Structure 1
């Protein structure tokens, strides 16, 4: 019960703090700006999230999460060459952009597709692997695997404040989610900035980053499918495995397929209710993290903005929860 109590306490802190500054002046955007933003946000895009090929760390059983990281093995280069035409065939209408993390293994996996299409690879730090903190560089024995995986699984379950021990990059789920979401939003903005762009992108990253961020954010996570992958391959995503999602940052993201297995856009009742609870539970945690970051920065304007935004987000989450539950039950019954 302690994580739930902490979430409710955080909500109270955000509400009280924001109430103290809510009386300040608020700038209201013009109707034309609101309309333009709404139209931009309403456009859906497709992201093909691709894990890198086999790296030297993979082959050696080493946990390496700090850039630039290990090179691809000979097998990894073969996998990268093989997946490029598969991705190209998946999107006959074209690909707007090719993105990769700062890790060499992701960049080198993306390069064959870039060569095939005559495109450049854009590097985004937000796509890097989940930082391992104290366990960086260790052999992937049972203790290291559990210590690394357990916090991320708790993040998926909505407990964002569970720490990744020793990590300054990803100290908790809120920080991890922020930096990957920022990269995804950059890809989105690049895509919709030109109306002539195809609405598809290839994004080369890492098993943990892809799997955990996707399960934390999509409306229809398929836990049964991911667990089956874990049991079959000991990883949520094999080398050059692909996760396809579609949507936009405003309306959210929908899981289309995982390792080639199609996923229903409408989750079952249990999953749908979990997502509703997740969105309610994580809103005050995220608000508290952003408020803490603002206080650590010491800028009064940022503190005020964090309090106001946190207040709004928490109120909206609590207001949306009853309708979300009703919609989930209705969809499950009608389905």
Structure 2
């Protein structure tokens, strides 16, 4: 089913892009300088976002897969980890913190309370959209090979671009997850700009949320530090671990560091091209899911906008693809690759 939906959208998108290129080329006019300046001014302001995994919980100790609120509390070690990461954050961002956020899980709120308790820090704001990915059929079960595979394999599919795969026994797929966390991030971002103060926020969540959303959304999803943390600590990231990002919801996010390991802002060629191709295959899936949700709701006032938005998003993804490939190649190989990248782009545009 996924393959059929993607093929339909791909065919439509490619045809329309081709038509747009052919029809627009003879009459294209250079935009006035004032318009160019205005476009440049539209670039959104960046913030720093520190995503922090909660400290050790009693579920961690008892090896239980628990994802639903209110969940398990912190252990004594978890409380210590919360204090340590709070002190680290205060030292790392001496300019202050705009907001402290946590999910509805007790363990994330208790971890966040340690930072909020330090002098000059804001109080904790609870956002349900930061909640853990639901485990579905394996909720509350002991962690073993079967439950871990059932829980994490759908997430792996989301990272690779198969966002319509659902957690077992649920309708919770990669599109639902990404929409959920995006909503939380947008709230944090808007609150930060409205505050006219520090431009750094701290959000406490679960390891799966942090790792999967980061890998699905940043421009430079370096998997190696994450794999290393999984092998060393049994989870991404470890209790009290941090993922620090910079950016905004409009222009995108860049991963600065993962659990203390700096990450290059420019992805390597393989990673960059993977992200470019993933963006193309994800767009029609997201559009199809949102249209299906609207159809299920049965309100024509929702269906028509969902179809129009989906159509525009798929078209935009295909239009952006050639330039994205150029940027990836030139960024990974340096300026000397510019001529080759331009030739490749000409070929891609011609193919479209």
Instruction: Determine the structure 2 residue equivalent to 1:42.
Output: 44
Instruction: Determine the structure 1 residue equivalent to 2:31.
Output: none
Instruction: Determine the structure 2 residue equivalent to 1:216.
Output: 216
Q: In the alignment, does 2:87 pair up with 1:85? A: yes
Are the counterparts in 2 of residues 41 and 249 from structure 1 also a CA contact under 8 Å? no
- CA separation of 1:36/1:54 partners in 2, compared to 1, >3 Å: closer, same or farther? farther
Instruction: Determine the structure 1 residue equivalent to 2:66.
Output: 64
Q: In the alignment, does 2:185 pair up with 1:184? A: yes
Instruction: Determine the structure 1 residue equivalent to 2:330.
Output: 330
RMSD between superposed Cα atoms in Å: 2.1
Secondary structure of 2:117's match? helix
Distance 2:261 2:224 in 1: 12
Shift of 1:249: 0.5
- CA separation of 1:92/1:36 partners in 2, compared to 1, >3 Å: closer, same or farther? farther
1:166 aligns with one of 158, 169, 188: 169
Instruction: Determine the structure 2 residue equivalent to 1:22.
Output: none
Shift of 1:7: 2.0
- CA separation of 1:243/1:140 partners in 2, compared to 1, >3 Å: closer, same or farther? same
- CA separation of 1:14/1:69 partners in 2, compared to 1, >3 Å: closer, same or farther? farther
TM score, norm. by length of structure 1: 0.89
Distance 1:198 1:126 in 2: 23
Distance 1:190 1:15 in 2: 39
Count matched residues.
Answer: 313
Shift of 1:81: 1.3
Secondary structure of 1:287's match? helix
Q: In the alignment, does 2:316 pair up with 1:288? A: no
Q: In the alignment, does 2:122 pair up with 1:119? A: yes
- CA separation of 1:68/1:325 partners in 2, compared to 1, >3 Å: closer, same or farther? same
Shift of 1:202: 0.6
Q: In the alignment, does 2:248 pair up with 1:248? A: yes
Distance 1:104 1:75 in 2: 15
Distance 2:47 2:4 in 1: 37
> What are the superposed Cα offsets for residues 302-324 of structure 1, whole Å, 9 maximum, x if unpaired?
11111111011000000100111
Distance 1:70 1:326 in 2: 48
Are the counterparts in 2 of residues 246 and 253 from structure 1 also a CA contact under 8 Å? yes
Are the counterparts in 1 of residues 280 and 317 from structure 2 also a CA contact under 8 Å? yes
Distance 1:300 1:15 in 2: 27
Instruction: Determine the structure 2 residue equivalent to 1:131.
Output: 134
Secondary structure of 1:122's match? strand
- CA separation of 1:275/1:200 partners in 2, compared to 1, >3 Å: closer, same or farther? same
Shift of 1:263: 0.3
Shift of 1:167: 2.4
- CA separation of 1:13/1:147 partners in 2, compared to 1, >3 Å: closer, same or farther? farther
List alignment gaps of at least 5 residues for structure 1.
17-34
Shift of 1:9: 2.7
Instruction: Determine the structure 2 residue equivalent to 1:20.
Output: none
- CA separation of 1:183/1:38 partners in 2, compared to 1, >3 Å: closer, same or farther? farther
Are the counterparts in 2 of residues 211 and 237 from structure 1 also a CA contact under 8 Å? yes
List alignment gaps of at least 5 residues for structure 2.
16-36, 336-352
Distance 1:133 1:304 in 2: 32
Are the counterparts in 1 of residues 13 and 315 from structure 2 also a CA contact under 8 Å? no
Secondary structure of 2:203's match? strand
Alignment of 1:186-335 (within 5 A): 186-194=187-195, 196-334=196-334
> Greater relative contact order: 1 or 2 (C-alpha under 8 angstroms, separation 6 or more)?
1
- CA separation of 1:132/1:14 partners in 2, compared to 1, >3 Å: closer, same or farther? farther
> What are the superposed Cα offsets for residues 160-185 of structure 1, whole Å, 9 maximum, x if unpaired?
011111124xx210011100111001
Shift of 1:37: 11
